[in-house]
Amino acid sequence: MSSPSVLVLVHAFPFGAAMWRRQAEAFPGWRVVMPALPGFDGHSRLVEPTIDAYARDLLATLDRLGIERAVFGGLSMGGYTIFGVLRQAPHRVLGLILADTRTSVDSPDRRAARERSIALARASGPSAIAGEMIPNILGRTTRESRPDVVAEVRALIEAQPAEAIVDGLRAMMTRPDSQPVLDRITVPTTIIVGDEDTVTPPSDARFMHGRVRGSTLVTIPAAGHMANLEAPEAFNGAIRAFLPRCLSDTRTT
C-alpha cells in the first residue's frame, strides 16, 4: 500500500492547502499530498483540538488515501503537527522537511497573546486576524516590495473559518515540548528558514539542526516566516535537492 515517492505537506496556521500552490507541481516524480488540518478548508473540527489530535487526524487522512509511508514537510504549525506524527507513528516517516518551525512550547506571554487572538477571532473574524498576523509572518522585504504576496496571504487567511482559527490557537498554545523528539530522528532531515523570519527565527532552525544528526540547514535570503510563499524558487530548490536522499536512505526513527 505504500509509495516511497509521496510528499505530504502540512500547512501553517491559519492557512489550508492553498498555501502550497507554488509547491504542488514543483517536484517531478513525487505525488504531493496537501491535507487540511481539522477545521481548515472545510475539514471537520475536533471536539478537543490539540496538536497531537491534529497528527492523529493527519495519519487517518493518509490511511484513507492508502499512504503508509511518506516524506513529511511542515511549515510552522505544520511542523508542530509533524512532531506529533513522530511521537505517534515514526515508522511512517521516510524523511523530514522542517520549515520555519520550532520545538519549544509557548512562553506565558505568548499564551496570553493567543488568548487575545482567540477573543479577536471570535469578535472580529479572520480579516482581523490577517491584519494582526501579516506584519509578523511576512518578512520585511516582502512587506516593502511584494504587495501581491501580501494580498495573497491576506486572502488565504480570510478564506478560513473563524472557528478553525480559534481551534488552531488552542492547539498551538497547549502543544507539548517536542525537543525530545529531535534526538530520536534518524531519517534524512532538512531544516529550512527564511532569514527574516521573526516568528520562528533562524536561531530556532539552528537549534534543530544542531540536534538532528545528519540534518541540513538551508537559510533563505529575503524571506520571512512564510518562506514557501515569499521565496518559492529557493524553497522548492532546497526541497528538490533534498528529496533524493529520502529514496536512498531507508533508516527509520
Minimum CB distance to ligand MLT, residue 35 (Å): 15
CA–CA gap between residue 84 and residue 78 (Å, rounded):
10
Q: Toward ligand MLT, which CB reaches closer, 94 or 229?
A: 229
Pick out residues in 146-165 that bind ligand MLT (CB under 6 A): none
CA–CA gap between residue 109 and residue 61 (Å, rounded):
34
Pick out residues in 118-137 that bind ligand MLT (CB under 6 A): 137
Cα 39–Cα 190–Cα 36 angle in degrees, nearest 5: 10
CA–CA gap between residue 27 and residue 124 (Å, rounded):
39
By CB under 6 A, residue 81 contacts ligand MLT? no
Minimum CB distance to ligand MLT, residue 99 (Å): 10
Minimum CB distance to ligand MLT, residue 72 (Å): 15
By CB under 6 A, residue 172 contacts ligand MLT? yes
Phi/psi region, residue 97 (left: phi>0; alpha: psi -120 to 50; beta: rest), is: beta
Residue recorded with cell 499512504? 67
Residue recorded with cell 487522512? 61
Q: Which of 58, 199, 223, 231 binds ligand MLT (CB under 6 A)?
A: 199
Q: Which of 10, 51, 62, 77 binds ligand MLT (CB under 6 A)?
A: 77
H or E stretch including 237? helix 232-248
Minimum CB distance to ligand MLT, residue 31 (Å): 24
H or E stretch including 96? strand 93-99
Residue recorded with cell 498576523? 133
Minimum CB distance to ligand MLT, residue 180 (Å): 19
Minimum CB distance to ligand MLT, residue 12 (Å): 4
By CB under 6 A, residue 20 contacts ligand MLT? no
Q: Which of 12, 58, 93, 99 binds ligand MLT (CB under 6 A)?
A: 12
Q: Which of 7, 13, 84, 121 binds ligand MLT (CB under 6 A)?
A: 13
Q: Toward ligand MLT, which CB reaches closer, 138 or 182?
A: 138
CA–CA gap between residue 219 and residue 196 (Å, rounded):
10
DSSP 17: G
Beta strands at 189-194 and 216-220: parallel, antiparallel or unpaired: parallel
By CB under 6 A, residue 76 contacts ligand MLT? yes
Question: Which residues contact ligand MLT (rule: CB under 6 A)?
Answer: 12-13, 76-77, 137, 172, 199, 225
